[in-house]
Structure 1
Amino acid sequence: MGKYYITIARQFGSLGRPIAKELSEMLGIEYYDRDIVEAASKELKLPVSVIHSEEEKSVKSSFLNMLFPLGTDSIDKQDKIFEAQKKIITDFAEKDSAIFVGRCADYILKDYPNVLNIYIYAPEKERYLNCVNALKMSPKEAKKMMEEVDRAREQYWHRYAGHSPADFEYTHLMINSSLFGIHDTSKILATIAKDRFM
């Protein structure tokens, strides 16, 4: 079996990151998340905090495109960050099998063979509880982050991939992490990946 790739898009608070980490341990392959941001920050000579803020900035693209058809500094910076992260993802993919969390990896790897695109979600109440209990956020901060980060991710995907991260036309598997928890969700995904790729 040659190289294979798993991409994970997720709702904020659905615990997609710890699931990806445990899944990578079960499959014995690397997973990339913040590593992509860190590599992009080196490439562009920008602090990691700038990459994060530009990625998660709300891109009101239709309004901004009408006002600034040739772009703005912020839009230009976002485009440069996307292109840098795209190259980093493909460079990591050339090395070996891997799991990629977020950052339009499903779109970036769309022409690669052996890709499994997963979307992890959970009901709003469960995500809220995860934010407060597991991520140690205040109730107010949890609600705000759930709303703003999900909106920013939607807009990011629409801008660069042309579709929603949860669009079933581009997603092979959607799973409700609240039904199974981190460990069992990872186990289910590992079983599916092994059956498909091994």
Structure 2
Amino acid sequence: MEEFIKSFMKTITCCDLETGDFPGPIVTISRQSGCSAQRIAIKLSKILTGYSYMSDTKTDAEWKWVDKNIFKDVVDDIIEEVKKGNYDDADEAIKMLHQVAKAFSNETIYEISDESLIETFKGVVCRLACKGRTIIVGRSAGIILKDIPNKLNVRLEAPMEWRINRIMQLRDFSQAEAVRYVKEMDEKRDSFIERIIGRKANNEDFDVIFNYASLQDDEIIDAMVNILKNKNIIAQHEEY
């Protein structure tokens, strides 16, 4: 297993400071429980794809938000590379990649504590970043990709009371059930970040933080698009 991990993380590198070869563009959206990041990601992907198709070069212009199917596709590609490689621990590595894909799809990724699985997951996230024009919701992707320049890390937050009320409405929970759900989900996500970087996340880990309780989805999306333009994250690859 150690052989595969070392080789895997060496070949799937987030950035090369010597050559200036960086992945992206990529957007990550972190959120507290009760903040709906998925629908923002879906709409943002369509809007950014529209901007891309306004350019002269329309090849590979589609932006995609990473659902379980896209994540699995990337894992499957890596598995094919493992099969073609000369790894003594190939079978164990493939099993581990399948575990990561399954954990991503059902959100049990936050419960992973095995160091090898965490390193493999980080490598898959880096591979997603290398593909570019990608939006990743949650899974601590913003923390993993924090140091690459060609990205926008967004955080959605809201007051606890507002989030509890929203979960009560969305899931038809009692107040006690909603309180327990919000606290448990926040704790799981925060604990996973600690396992990845050895500390709690703070405001400096994100480029922008939105108060989801006081803003509409479209307002957040408009702000994100403008930030991407102003930081030349979009225009770096196409002329709009």
Distance (Å, rounded) in 1 between the aligned partners of 2:105 and 2:40: 23
RMSD over aligned Cα atoms: 2.8
Q: Once the 2 structures are TM-superposed, how far is the Cα of residue 91 of structure 1 from its aligned partner?
A: 1.6
**Aligned residues, how many?**
177
Of 170, 173, 182, the match for 2:208: 173
Match for residue 159 of structure 1?
A: 195
Of 16, 24, 27, the match for 2:37: 16
| 1:13 aligned counterpart, secondary structure | coil
Deviations 1:81-116 (A, max 9, x none): 322322222222222221111222123223422122
Match for residue 102 of structure 2?
A: 48
- More RCO (CA 8 Å, sep 6+): 1
Write the mapping of 1:186-197 to structure 2, written as runs, cut at 5 A: 186-196=221-231, 197=233
- The one-letter code of the counterpart of 2:109 is E
1:113 aligns with 2:149: yes
Distance 1:48 1:122, change over 3 A: same
Q: Once the 2 structures are TM-superposed, how far is the Cα of residue 54 of structure 1 from its aligned partner?
A: 4.1
Write the mapping of 1:1-198 to structure 2, written as runs, cut at 5 A: 3-28=24-49, 29-35=63-69, 38=72, 44-46=97-99, 48=102, 52=106, 54-57=108-111, 75-76=113-114, 79-133=115-169, 135-139=170-174, 140-165=176-201, 167-196=202-231, 197=233, 198=235
Distance (Å, rounded) in 1 between the aligned partners of 2:104 and 2:29: 23
Distance (Å, rounded) in 2 between the aligned partners of 1:56 and 1:148: 11
- The one-letter code of the counterpart of 1:145 is Y
Match for residue 53 of structure 2?
A: none
Q: Report if the CA contact (8 A) 1:104-1:161 is conserved.
A: no
Q: Once the 2 structures are TM-superposed, how far is the Cα of residue 118 of structure 1 from its aligned partner?
A: 1.2
Give structure 2 stretches of 5+ with no counterpart: 1-22, 50-62, 77-93, 236-240
Deviations 1:140-165 (A, max 9, x none): 43222100010111111011023334
Aligned sequence identity (%): 26
Deviations 1:114-157 (A, max 9, x none): 12211110112221232232x32412432221000101111110
- Which protein has the larger Cα radius of gyration, Structure 1 or Structure 2? 2
Q: Once the 2 structures are TM-superposed, how far is the Cα of residue 36 of structure 1 from its aligned partner?
A: 6.6
Give structure 1 stretches of 5+ with no counterpart: 58-73
Q: Structure 1 length normalisation: TM-score? A: 0.75
| 1:100 aligned counterpart, secondary structure | strand
Q: Report if the CA contact (8 A) 2:29-2:137 is conserved.
A: yes
| 1:180 aligned counterpart, secondary structure | coil
Q: Structure 2 length normalisation: TM-score? A: 0.63
